[in-house]
Chains A and B, each alone.
Chain A
Amino acid sequence: MLLVPCPYCGPMNAADLSYNGESHRRPDPKTCTPEEWRSYLYLRENPSGWLLENWYCSSGCRRHFKIERHTLTGELRAPVLPGRKPGATQGDMK
């Protein structure tokens, strides 16, 4: 079982959250080429190591957050709220 700390609800069983995969910036649909858009849709780094990911607290507070997770060891770092950068201090989270 993977325990994922929701910034609002605290540790949650990963099975109770929706996993939305690798987090990366969405290109501007008005200006990007179809190729850029499709790369954003489909291509993934998929590293074996630390990865910033999107999660949705579907059976809890129903909010979105990001968190860095190690894809081999399962270790987790602090969750990140929308609009914040990873690596923020705990004070920032509140």
Chain B
Amino acid sequence: MEFDIGLGPRRAKPAKEPWNELEGGRVDETQTETAARTNAKLLGRPGNPLRRDQKLSSVGQKGGAVGRQPHPSRGALEERETEVGFELPDLLTERRLGNVKAVGGPSEVQFLGHGDEGIEAPQVRQLTHAQIISISPNSLLHPHERIGQTEAMGKNKPPAKYSAVGLLWRGLRKQSWPRVWREPEFKSTYDVVIIGGGVHGLATAYYLASNHGITNVAVVDKQYLGSGGSGRNTAIVRSNYLTPEGVAFYDRSLDLYNSMSNDLNLNVMFSERGHLTLAHTDSALRTMNWRAEVNKLQGINSSVITPAEIKKLTPSLDVSADTRYPILGALYHPPGGTIRHDAVVWGYARGADAYGVDLHQKTEVLDILVEGGSGPEGKGPGGKVTGVRTSKGDIHAPIVVNCTAGWASQLSNMAGVTLPITTHPLQAAVTEPVKTFLPTVVVSGSLHVYVSQTDRGELVFGASVDPVATYNMGGTLEFTEELAGHVLELMPGISKMRLLRQWAGLCDMTPDYSPVMGPTPVDGFYVDVGWGTYGFKAGPVSGEQMAACVANGTTPELIKPFELSRFTEGTLVGEKGAAAVGH
């Protein structure tokens, strides 16, 4: 029941409040990016970073959030941009920067050019468990075993190679570029339906096809591919976590990222520049030492370094003793770095599509169909999934995988499965480009901020999640104020730089800062969620392991610690010490 609580009539619609508009307030979901061109100079001293009278006229203006990421309202139409736009300029930038290493040896040549003219011999694949089983009569089979029958080997074809010759050929003949992935027809039956077209959903689809020969798979997304966290993150990858389970898992992801440009034949611009987590307090330093020891035991390159060493690595940091929170040391992780997130999404999408996986954009899942469960409408524990109801119609499938990150609870609730997740927005911001001066990724847990510099020269900032749970992706002025103050404490030299944009994405936070992966009490319904602020770096390994989990019907060792059942069994995997701000 709503009634006036003495705050005046305008309170009923907070979104229209003047302060909300002024501060790029939380307006509505479609305004996914605030893209606030606040022109806010990071003026002044720490603590007083932003004056209210600064130009805020265009706050709330819509626009691209991350790189050339299209605005969601334009949706799938922007595929054309992905086809043409990104390769050539990227390569030119790489060349200009002399950054040949990032382009990556032999794949550089393949990376050039585009198109389907390259002919690849179909890969010889071993028969998987699923395919072997599929010889027996259909009706006797468990859903895990039934999948992969219909089109198991039919369309197994890796994507056509990009090549330098191809680029030259098309360039000279002024040929246009074909679409990178198909716009498939809507089918009513699949072996596996994956909900969510972010890096996790697409990687799962890709590895189902490439590692297990299961290609009768649909990926459905309510917006466009990469419209969630996967196109909004700050692209940091590392594996220096706190628990042995976490370290092993994220390290496998780094391995996959290392060979990704070759595997997907698309330059993901992996820049292994080193990752610094600063310690400003004794207790932080103790945690760093602890992490370093756990990391070393598992063969991860990670050590605690002194302020003098930090200064040598990253001269722009103020390591003097007279700051408010002096830097006492840092955990240094040389294999950490950044990767171009859009390229990862597009690479997996292109790869999966080539294997015959159908990518349905602008297809929202409205309900998950479950039979025989103990809850209302036959949903919930003990039930069996039979498909999904989408905005385009029903799809029947014995296996449904929930990869919807920030929206994970909504989707799981549809199946009668309650998750240990709350959804919080995480905001980020980017400055105008300047000459490169920041060679590493710098994270400060105490100051709730992290920063890295892109190849184009922009500084990318992030923080910890907003404290109040919400599904609204509007930006706030509080965020930019705090951010500017804290960044200037670390790097006073950048006080004249201007902020270009700010945006937010939804993060699915779990109580122990570890993901939730694997089967649920509803048969055939899987989750790969709880990715919080650290899921981008885990995309490849999650896809690989979830694909194995779905194809074999058993949970692989690497993700066993992250099963949903840990919350009822009380076996949490506490990663807060390494993931609260660090991403």
Contacts and interface: CB of A to CB of B under 8 A. Distances in A.
Interface of A: 1-3, 5, 10-11, 14-15, 19, 21-22, 34-35, 38-39, 41-48, 71-79, 86-87, 89-90
B413 A47 contact: yes
Contact of A38 (B3, B12, B471, B568): B568
A43 B14 contact: no
A43 B418 contact: yes
A71 B6 contact: no
Interface stretch (B17-25, B140-148, B186-194): B17-25
B459 to A, nearest CB: 25
Contacts, number: 114
Contacts of A39: 418, 567-568
A2 B14 CA distance: 8
6 contacts: A2-B468, A11-B7, A73-B13, A73-B28, A77-B3, A86-B1
Contacts of B467: 14-15, 19
A77 B417 CA distance: 28
B236 to A, nearest CB: 26
B431 interface: no
A46 B422 contact: yes
B35 interface: no
B410 interface: yes
Contacts of A47: 409-410, 413
3 closest A-B pairs by CB: A46-B409, A42-B420, A87-B1
A72 to B, nearest CB: 5
Interface of B: 1-7, 11-15, 17, 19-20, 23, 25-26, 28-29, 407, 409-410, 413, 418-423, 467-472, 476-478, 511, 567-570
A35 B420 CA distance: 13
B406 to A, nearest CB: 10
Contact of A43 (B20, B407, B410, B419): B419
Contacts of A89: 3
Contacts of A43: 418-420, 567
Contacts of B423: 46, 48, 71
A72 B567 CA distance: 27
Contact of A48 (B2, B26, B471): B471
Given A38-B567, A46-B410, A74-B25, 4 more contacts: A22-B422, A42-B511, A74-B470, A75-B15
Nearest to A3: B14
Contacts of A15: 467, 478
A73 B409 contact: no
B15 A1 contact: no
Given A46-B422, A74-B26, A1 B469 contact: no
Contacts of A73: 13-15, 26, 28, 472
B511 A72 contact: no
A1 B19 contact: yes
A23 B454 CA distance: 42
Given A47-B409, A74-B472, A75-B13, A90 B420 contact: no
Given A1-B23, A35-B568, A77 B1 contact: yes
B421 A46 contact: yes
Contacts of A2: 14, 26, 468
A75 B2 CA distance: 10
A47 to B, nearest CB: 7
B18 to A, nearest CB: 11
A13 B428 CA distance: 22
Most buried by A among B5, B11, B477, B570: B5
Given A38-B570, A45-B418, A90-B3, A1 B25 contact: yes
B470 A75 contact: no
A88 B366 CA distance: 33
A14 B419 CA distance: 26
Contacts of B419: 43-44, 46
Nearest to A73: B15
Given A19-B467, A34-B570, A74 B15 contact: yes
Nearest to A86: B1
A47 B7 CA distance: 26
A75 B14 contact: yes
A76 B352 CA distance: 44
B374 to A, nearest CB: 14
A61 B382 CA distance: 47
Nearest to B29: A72
Contact of B409 (A19, A34, A45): A45
Contacts of A46: 409-410, 419, 421-423, 469
A84 B420 CA distance: 27
Contact of A78 (B5, B421, B468, B472): B5
A7 B1 CA distance: 16
A74 B25 CA distance: 10
Contacts of B13: 73, 75
Given A44-B409, A44-B418, A78-B3, A1 B478 contact: yes
B413 A45 contact: yes
B196 to A, nearest CB: 15
Contacts of B1: 77-78, 86-87
Contacts of A34: 570
A53 B11 CA distance: 18
A12 B261 CA distance: 50
A30 B471 CA distance: 36
A1 B476 contact: yes
B413 A76 contact: no
